[in-house]
Amino acid sequence: MSSSVAPIPDEQNGATPAFSPLYQQIKGLILQSLQQGQWKPGEVIPSETELAARFRVSQGTVRKAIDELAAENLVMRRQGKGTFVATHATPQVQYRFLKLLPDTGNDRIAGPAQRRVIECRRVRASADVARALALRSTDAVVQARRILSFAGVPTILEDIWLPGQAFKGLSAEQLANYPGPTYAMFELDFGVRMVRAEEKIRAVLPDAQQAQWLQIGAGTPLLSVERIAYTYNDMPMELRRGLYRTENHHYRNALN
C-alpha cells in the first residue's frame, strides 16, 4: 500500500532526507497523542487494528511501532485486554526509579516509606537548577526537602526542584501523604508523566545539618544521587538531589 501518513513524504524525495521507516512515523504519531494527553496514564489506547485502519497501514507496522514504545516503558501491553499508557501507579513498576534496596530481604523494593516533608516552597531558580531544568534563572521553581524513613530509620534525605509553571499549587501535604509513588501523584494531580531519568552518583560526607536529619555521625559516608527526570520529548521536569544511607541498604544496578 502506498499510504500517506501526514508529515513525511516518505517516497520520491529528492535529497535522501535521512529516510524514516513508516513504523517510526507511526510511533511518532502515537507519541504525539501520548504527549498531548489524548490518552491518560492507565487508560487503554486504541487497538492495533483500529490504529492500523486510522493510519492506513498494516497491523504489523503499528505493532512494530508499539513494540518500541513498550520497550521504552511508555506503554504496557496486556494480552487479551489491550495496550495501556504506562503509569507509575502500576504495582509492578512502582518506584522503578528508586534503586535503593535493603541488604537483607530476597529482593523487592524499599517501597512506600514514611515521608516527612521539611519544606516546600516557591523560589526563583538558582543558576544550576535553572540549567538542569532548562529554565531561565528568573523562573519560579518549587523546592522541596523531605526525609524518607524505612522501618523508622531515616534513610534518604532529598531535595526536589520542579518547574513552577507545571507544578502550581504543589503542597507539602501532597508530598508527604499521597498514598503511592510521588511520580504517580505527579501524573494524577499535574498531568506530568516522568518517562526516564539520569543519575549521577558520588560518595560524600554530610554537613552538620544533613547528619542531624539523617541521625548519623558527621563521618558517615553517604551516596549522593543527583537525578534529572524527563517527560516526553526529553524535557527535563525534575531535579532531585538525594543523600542515601548505605549501612543497611545498597544501590542496585543491572548492567546489560
Our CA dihedral for 64, 68, 71, 72, rounded to 10 degrees, sits at -160
Among 176, 196, 210, 236, binds its own copies (CB under 8 A): 196
Residue whose CB is less far from DNA, 2 or 253: 2
Residue whose CB is less far from DNA, 5 or 140: 5
Least Cβ distance, residue 196 to its own copies (angstroms): 5
Q: Which does 39 bind (CB under 5 to 8 A by kind): DNA, its own copies, none?
A: none
Residue from 146, 205, 138 nearest 174 by CA:
146
Maximum CA extent, the chain:
69
Among 60, 111, 191, 221, binds DNA (CB under 7 A): 60
Region binding DNA by CB under 7 A among candidate stretches 28-36, 51-59, 99-107, 157-165: 51-59
Q: Does 43 bind DNA (CB under 7 A)?
A: no
Q: Which does 134 bind (CB under 5 to 8 A by kind): DNA, its own copies, none?
A: none
Q: Which does 244 bind (CB under 5 to 8 A by kind): its own copies, DNA, none?
A: its own copies
Q: Does 221 bind its own copies (CB under 8 A)?
A: yes
CA distance 134 to 138: 12
Do the Cβ atoms of 235 and 202 come closer than 8 Å?
Answer: no
Region binding its own copies by CB under 8 A among candidate stretches 2-10, 11-19, 71-79, 121-129: 71-79
Phi, psi angles (nearest 5°) of residue 15: -105, 25
Residue from 160, 171, 170 nearest 227 by CA:
160
Vertex 38: Cα angle to 36 and 39 (nearest 5): 120
CA distance 175 to 159: 12
The number of beta carbons lying within 10 Å of the beta carbon of residue 180 is 14
CA distance 31 to 27: 6
Q: Does 215 bind its own copies (CB under 8 A)?
A: no
Q: Which residues bind DNA (CB under 7 A)?
A: 1, 3, 19, 21-24, 45, 47-50, 57-61, 63-64, 77-83
- Residues of this chain that interact with its own copies (CB under 8 A) are 71-73, 96-97, 99, 196-205, 219, 221-223, 227, 244, 246, 250-256
